[in-house]
Structure 1
Amino acid sequence: MQYYHADVFCNEPMTGNGLTVFIAKAFPERTVMQQIAREFRQFETIFLVQRSDAVFDARIFTVEEELDFAGHPVLGAAAVVQHEFFQEASNTVLFNLNSKQVSVFCAPQGDLYDCCMDQGPAEFICTPEPEEYTTYLQPLNLTPHHIAAGFPLEVVSTGLPYLLVPLASGLEQARIVVADYESRLARIGAKFAYVFDVNAVEGRTWDNAGMVEDIATGSAAGPVGAYLYKHSRFSTSQEILLRQGRFAGRDSEISIRRDKASGNMLVNGQVRLLVRGECLQGM
């Protein structure tokens, strides 16, 4: 099986969020894909099977589990497809994920690829009551005093539901400090939490064990953008630039827009391909 190592949401080589992209004739067994993801130890690994010229089935794994959707793997996969199958001509690639289809427009620009993903409309799932805030903030080493005035906690999804935690302060001290945070989030229909400074427009998120901080989270960017538009932090005509990764030493930038015609959330980032290889064993 052929694979690429790519960096997504990067400004320069070896910045942004690392990713492994595998291209196969057929998907390996699920347990094998999980083992490969653990072997390569990126925050996420994506496996592709081509169905037609620009249509690919895709499956995404963290080191712990398979995900129905994730943002930076889809963008990185689009750059790999562009490089492998289309070279210099810009193209739109469709990815069939477990629960939705996502399109990515990819344009080569010298030694990088500019990729824009249509995440579809945002779904506003749940708004916890203020008296419940401590249940979700204390595990993040935060208190209600850190929350930005006029910005409620809210669960929002464009394919992967996040509890959005809008802060006026405290971003630097945020971290997961409990072992059962995933089960707490599940009570309100969230898979992960994403904390972000409303004024600086900078965010952070982790695996639910709090062991690994993600560098740039495309699946959260669409929900964050929809939230900031909904609560009038930005007008819908404005592009939002979301920073992430500073605390992990990999400062990254994600561009977010809402499509005027459809209302869909568009998430854009630059991708660089660094390594091409072949997996010889374990298939």
Structure 2
Amino acid sequence: MPLHYRHVDVFADKAYTGNSLAVFPDNPGLSAEQMLTITQELRHFETIFLSGAEGAHYVTARVFDLFEELDFAGHPVLGAAAVLHERDGTTGPRRWTFHLSGRTVEVSTRRTATGYHAELDQGAPEFLATVPTAERTEIAAALNLPVRALADLPLGP
């Protein structure tokens, strides 16, 4: 069966200069194993597969890197939203809802002179862990910053 996809450059205003990915706007029911194999074959850092995208503002998305399925990844969602807007053919701004395995996010898109601008609303940040105060010195050194530069960041108690 033929599979159609778009090569997309995110965070760029000209081709072959951004974060590239493959967007499959019409997932024909591929298994997770097949999606992972396709991603590995294309050798993109990430590939996104969409379901329910034809004429809908709400899509289900599955994102894969070279090793596994990801719960969420921002740049594939941005690129996919641009592909959906292009396919839709409308000139005005659009809003899309993406349901991923890890969360549901909203993306606003608008056409520009060089392509599309996409803005992701992924909700409030989730902090999965805190960094002990004693480790701030190591973190600051790794970032080539003074320790005081990390004082107001949510690194821990």
1:84: which partner in 2?
87
Residues 100 and 121 of structure 1, relative CA distance in 2, 3 Å threshold: same
Pair 1:59-2:62 in alignment:
yes
Mapped partners of 1:61, 1:9: distance in 2: 19
Q: Count residues with an aligned counterpart.
A: 150
Residues 19 and 28 of structure 1, relative CA distance in 2, 3 Å threshold: same
SS in 2 for 1:47: strand
Residues 197-247 of structure 1 show CA distances to partners (whole Å, capped at 9, x for unaligned) of: xxxxxxxxxxxxxxxxxxxxxxxxxxxxxxxxxxxxxxxxxxxxxxxxxxx
Pair 1:149-2:126 in alignment:
no
Opposite residue 80 of structure 1, the aligned amino acid is: V
How far residue 86 of structure 1 moved from its aligned partner, in angstroms, is 3.5
The correspondence of residues 268-279 of structure 1 with structure 2, limited to 5 A, is none
1:30: which partner in 2?
32
SS in 1 for 2:5: strand
Residues 125 and 12 of structure 1, relative CA distance in 2, 3 Å threshold: same
Residues 3 and 144 of structure 1, relative CA distance in 2, 3 Å threshold: closer
Mapped partners of 1:101, 1:73: distance in 2: 14
How far residue 60 of structure 1 moved from its aligned partner, in angstroms, is 0.2
Residues 81 and 145 of structure 1, relative CA distance in 2, 3 Å threshold: closer
2:132: which partner in 1?
129
Which has the bigger relative contact order, CA under 8 A and spacing at least 6?
A: 1
CA RMSD of aligned residues (A): 2.4
Ranges of 4+ aligned residues in structure 1 off by more than 4 Å: 142-145, 152-155
SS in 2 for 1:2: coil
How far residue 128 of structure 1 moved from its aligned partner, in angstroms, is 1.5
Alignment check: 8 A CA contact 1:103 1:117 kept = yes
Alignment check: 8 A CA contact 1:133 1:144 kept = no
Alignment check: 8 A CA contact 1:27 1:47 kept = no
Mapped partners of 1:38, 1:27: distance in 2: 18
Alignment check: 8 A CA contact 1:104 1:116 kept = yes
The two structures have a TM-score, normalised by structure 2, of 0.83
Residues 145 and 61 of structure 1, relative CA distance in 2, 3 Å threshold: closer
How far residue 90 of structure 1 moved from its aligned partner, in angstroms, is 1.8
Residues 144 and 70 of structure 1, relative CA distance in 2, 3 Å threshold: closer
Mapped partners of 1:13, 1:56: distance in 2: 26
Residues 144 and 103 of structure 1, relative CA distance in 2, 3 Å threshold: closer
2:101: which partner in 1?
98
SS in 2 for 1:37: helix
How far residue 25 of structure 1 moved from its aligned partner, in angstroms, is 4.6
Alignment check: 8 A CA contact 1:44 1:63 kept = yes
Equivalent residue for 1:7, pick from 5, 9, 32? 9
Gaps of 5+ in 1: 156-283
Residues 73-100 of structure 1 show CA distances to partners (whole Å, capped at 9, x for unaligned) of: 0000000000112342321011110021
Residues 7 and 126 of structure 1, relative CA distance in 2, 3 Å threshold: same
Alignment check: 8 A CA contact 1:125 1:154 kept = no
Alignment check: 8 A CA contact 1:4 1:20 kept = yes
How much identity, in percent, do the aligned residues show?
36
Gaps of 5+ in 2: none
How far residue 145 of structure 1 moved from its aligned partner, in angstroms, is 8.4
The correspondence of residues 185-204 of structure 1 with structure 2, limited to 5 A, is none
SS in 1 for 2:76: helix
